[in-house]
Every structure is written in structure tokens, then in C-alpha cells.
Amino acid sequence: MEEKQRINKYLAHRGVGSRREIDKLIEMNLVKVNGELASSGQKVDKNDKIEINGKLIEGYKEKKVYFMLNKPQGYISAVKDMREKTVVELIDVPERIYPVGRLDLNTEGLLILTNDGDLYNKIIHPRAEIWKTYIAKVWGRVTEEEIIKLQEGIDLEDGVTLPAKVNLQRAYDNSSWVEISIREGRNRQVRRMLKAIGHHVIYLKREKLGELTVEGLEVGQYRELYQEELDYIFSL
């Protein structure tokens, strides 16, 4: 069953106007729901008969939209949450979008949000095997032997990981920077892999998703996907 929405949001999704403009129409008594004057904050769905100045609002197929977000820390990859801020709150569009995959609360970086289930399935389906590239700062000096373990696969509680692409970027006495690419999507996988070799993650950012890169986007910023990026995803 479709969840009812506030009437200004519902009509904004259908291209009638902005929420503020719709509220003004309601204040002017130009909007009716099922033959009665609409009220501000009233909730409706597709089963309601909505008229604006006597004109019936027909059903509307929502426009497909595609965004890349450089996710900041402190937001979870969800549409709604009672306790935490969500990534959807960072993108101000009338369409009902959702994140493709997940980055945990304290991980930054590239996240795709859309309302297109076909694109969602292209990225999420295991058959795609899209490499996801992360930059991690960890406690302690990572050794070449530990890099080899990551490359060959780590035995986690939910099974052995697939071989990863790993490069040790910088190593100091008390910390190291590691680039790691994986083609799975297990929960908190990179953090768990690094913990399994004895290194707690201090900072984690996803920089690439296949050929897509977050380069040029400041943390917290978003943009629409370019056509060549969409072509690439749908070609997978």
C-alpha cells in the first residue's frame, strides 16, 4: 500500500509547483480533495481525487533522477531513521530518492542516490562485480605481509572475502594509509578486513565506484550524474 504524503509534497512530486506555491494555492481555497477544500498538512495518495482551480490532477510518472553525493560523516545511508540524520536529507529534490548500497555512519565518500530501480539493480547485483575503492587511515604500521593477506582474502565471520586490490600508500610508526578495492558489498567489510589484520580504522572514504569518481566534489556536496556515467552503469 502506498504511504500517504502531505499534499504539498505529493503535488510537488507531480510537477505542479514548489511546496510553497502549493501551500499558497491551498490558502486561496483553490485546491480540493475528494470534493472538499484541502487543508494545509493534509495527507493524500493516488486514490484521492485532487483538483486545482477545478482542474483534475491526473496520475504522474515520476521523473528518473540520478545523483552522486560526497557523503560526510554523521549521516546514515537510509531514507528514514528515528535517531540519525540520513543522506537523503542532504539532497533537496522533490523526487523520492534512496541510496544505492551503503556507507556506514562514519564513512565518507561516493554514494549514488536515485529513484530508478533498474540502476539500483545494476550496481547492487553481484553479477556486476563493480570494484569499490576506499582510502583508509589505520592505527599502526601496515606490513607487506598484511597487504598480501588482504589481497588473497580475509577469513571473516561471514566467510572468506574475495581477493582485494591493495596498495600501501604511506606507513608511519603509529599509523598507515591504505588504498583498498573490493568487489563485494558486505556490511562494514573494509573496516572488518583491516581489523582482522590488527589495524583499527581511524578514517575511511570511498573514492571510486567502478569508473565513477568523487573527485571534484567537496564533502557534503552532490551533483547529477553525467550522461556518460549513466551509460557506463547501464552497460554493466
- Decide if pLDDT at 1 tops 60: no
pLDDT of residue 62: 65
For residue 60, the Cα-to-chain-centroid distance in whole angstroms is 24
Q: What share of the chain is helix, strand, coil (3-state, %, to 5)?
A: 25, 30, 45
Looking at residue 61, its pLDDT comes to: 57
- Catalytic one among 23, 104, 173, 231? 104
Determine the pLDDT at residue 19: 85
CA dist., res. 18 & res. 35, Å (int): 23
Grid cell 485532487 is found at: 50
Domains plus CATH for the chain? 5-56 (3.10.290.10), 72-125+214-234 (3.30.70.580), 131-209 (3.30.70.1560)
- Tens of pLDDT, residue by residue over 152-192, are 999 999 999 999 999 999 999 899 999 999 999 889 999 99
Pairing of strands 201-209, 108-114: parallel
What pLDDT score does 59 carry? 58
Q: In which residue are the cell numbers 591493495 written? A: 166
How high is the pLDDT of residue 48? 86
How far apart (Å, rounded) are the C-alpha atoms in residues 196 and 205? 19
Question: How many other CB atoms sit within 10 Å of the CB of residue 73?
Answer: 16
- More confident: 70 or 10: 70
**Per-residue pLDDT tens for 81-125?**
888 999 999 998 877 899 998 999 999 999 999 988 888 888 887
User: Does residue 204 surpass a pLDDT of 70?
Assistant: yes
CB 97 within 8 A of CB 88: yes
| pLDDT value at 40 more than 70 | yes
Per-residue pLDDT, averaged over 187-198, amounts to 96
Is 92 tagged catalytic?
Answer: no
> What's the full length of the chain, in residues?
236
Q: What are phi and psi of 51, to 5 degrees?
A: -125, 140
Q: Could you give the CA distance from residue 22 to residue 10 in angstroms, rounded to a whole number?
A: 10
DSSP state of 10: H
